[in-house]
Amino acid sequence: MVFWISWVRYLELFHASPVEFSLMKHPSILLSACLIVFAISLNAQTDFLPGYYITNNSDTIHGEIDNRGDLRNSHICTFRSGDGIESVSFNPGDIYAYRFSGGGKYYISTR
């Protein structure tokens, strides 16, 4: 929707009608649109692995944790209790710790 609004606004600014406007005459717009779609699809990828988190009250909750690399994992824990269930994101301090099952990395909140 944002791209459509921007495209219509571009046409208004340059006084071109949709019939007169051709993406082939403006390859930079076509390239920009392709790069935006590609970037959004890369950001949307998830990799949920079995794991658990420990609440600040020392309760252990099992489910799946999104594994997106060490840097992201050190800042946010995205958890879901099962396949197809909406995920919840925790920041450090919201939970005590979390870990990937099978001896994976163990992330502990520090205060």
CATH number assigned to the domain covering 48-108: 2.30.30
DSSP string, 50-110: EEEEE-TTS-EEEEEEE---HHHHTT-EEEESSTTSPPEEE-BTTBSEEEETTT--EEE--
Residue-wise pLDDT tens digits, 1-37: 444 445 555 556 665 555 555 656 667 777 777 777 6
B/e letters for 41-80, b = 16+ CB within 10 Å, e = fewer, are: eeeeeeebeebbbbeeeeeeeebbbbbeeeeebeeebbbb
Residue 78 — very low, low, confident or very high, per pLDDT cuts 50/70/90?
very high
The answer to pTM > 0.75 is no
Instruction: Break the chain into its structural domains and give their ranges.
Output: 2-43, 48-108
Taking all residues of the chain, what is their mean pLDDT, rounded to a whole number? 78
